[in-house]
């Protein structure tokens, strides 16, 4: 029995050493992924790394289930874990430069926006000042137009009253002139009537004599 356990232990240790050595060599030999040149490449690279992680997790779960069916369970689990770790590290080597590129790009875009805002600030201030001046000028023009309309209405009212007064005076003058003519005609008629009466009276007196 002791010999059997010693043999199992030796096999287990040997398996662990071999697995660790192979994992270390494979991990060291895995080169870092090239840094992407565009955001699209970075997104694709990160998606590939995520797929690798998901696949590694799925494979690790399947390997674990198989390991529990084997005699050397711990050695099998250790090998599965090493393989899982190796793939995760490979995925990280792909993901890291893509993530850094995205971060650097966002930082560069933010810096560019800050610089553009700094450049645009004097122009925006000038535009705001011009807009304020235009608004004040427009309001002043509207106020002047309102005052002009008010003054025009006042002038029209005065002119209307003056025209009405002139027409009234003209009518009154015509009435006075007509009344004067009527009075003159009446006076002439009365004078003629008086003269005729006097002449009739004189004729009647002469006839009586």
In Å, how far from its chain's centre is CA 71? 69
**153 in a structural domain:** no
Residue 195 lies in a domain: no
H or E stretch covering 16:
helix 2-29
Angle, in degrees to the nearest 10, between helices 73-208 and 2-29: 40
Taking 60 as the threshold, does the pLDDT of residue 189 lie above it? yes
pLDDT at 33: 66
3-class secondary structure for 115-182? HHHHHHHHHHHHHHHHHHHHHHHHHHHHHHHHHHHHHHHHHHHHHHHHHHHHHHHHHHHHHHHHHHHH
DSSP 209: -
Q: What is the pLDDT of residues 145-173, one digit of tens each?
A: 999 999 999 999 999 999 999 999 999 99
Does 175 reside within a domain?
no
For residues 98 and 38, the answer to whether their CB atoms sit within 8 Å is no
Rounded distance between C-alpha atoms, residue 100 and residue 209, angstroms: 157
Instruction: Tell me, yes or no, whether 90 lies in a domain.
Output: yes
CB 45 within 8 A of CB 98: yes
**Position 38 in a domain:** yes
Q: How far is CA 92 from the centre of its chain?
A: 41
Does the structure show a pLDDT above 50 at 133?
Answer: yes
Range of the domain at 102: 14-122
Between 10-14, 189-193, 202-206, the lowest mean confidence (pLDDT) is in 10-14
196 vs 48, residue with greater confidence: 48
Residue pLDDT, tens place only, 4-30 = 333 333 333 333 333 334 334 444 444
- Terminal CA-CA length for the chain: 205
Pairwise CA distance, residues 15 & 54, whole Å: 26
Q: What is the pLDDT of residue 147?
A: 93
Total domains in the fold of the chain: 1
d(CA 24, CA 56): 17
Query: Are residues 85 and 57 in contact, defined by beta-carbon separation less than 8 angstroms?
Result: no
**DSSP structural state of residue 32:** P
Residue 30 lies in a domain: yes
pLDDT at 209 over 80: no
- The C-alpha R_g of the chain, in whole angstroms, comes to 60
For the cut 80, the answer to whether the pLDDT of residue 130 exceeds it is: yes
* Residue 53, in any domain of the structure: yes
- Rounded Cα distance between 124 and 113, Å, is 15
Q: Each residue of 94-118: pLDDT tens digit?
A: 999 999 999 999 999 999 999 999 9
Within a domain: 36: yes
pLDDT above 50 for 128: yes
Q: Which carries the bigger pLDDT value, residue 203 or residue 190?
A: 190
What pLDDT, on the 0 to 100 scale, is given for residue 7?
Answer: 35
Each residue's pLDDT tens digit, 35-92: 899 999 999 999 999 999 999 999 999 999 999 998 889 999 999 999 999 999 999 9
């Amino acid at each position: 029995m002791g010999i059997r356990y010693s043999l199992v232990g030796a096999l287990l240790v040997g398996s662990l050493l071999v697995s660790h050595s192979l994992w270390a060599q494979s991990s060291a030999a895995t080169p870092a992924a090239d840094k992407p040149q565009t955001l699209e490449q970075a997104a694709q690279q990160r998606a590939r790394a995520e797929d690798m992680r998901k696949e590694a997790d799925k494979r690790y779960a399947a390997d674990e289930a198989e390991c529990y069916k084997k005699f050397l369970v711990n050695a099998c689990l250790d090998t599965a874990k090493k393989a899982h770790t190796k793939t995760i590290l490979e995925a990280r080597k792909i993901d890291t430069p893509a993530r850094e590129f995205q971060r650097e790009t966002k930082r560069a875009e933010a810096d560019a926006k800050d610089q553009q805002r700094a450049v645009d600030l004097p122009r925006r201030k000038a535009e705001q000042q011009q807009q304020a001046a235009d608004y004040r000028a427009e309001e002043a023009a509207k106020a002047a137009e309102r005052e002009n309309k008010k003054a025009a209405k006042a002038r029209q009212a005065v002119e209307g009253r003056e025209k009405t007064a002139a027409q009234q005076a003209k009518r009154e003058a015509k009435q006075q002139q007509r009344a004067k003519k009527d009075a003159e005609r009446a006076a002439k008629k009365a004078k003629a009537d008086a003269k005729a009466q006097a002449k009739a009276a004189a004729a009647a007196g002469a006839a009586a004599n």
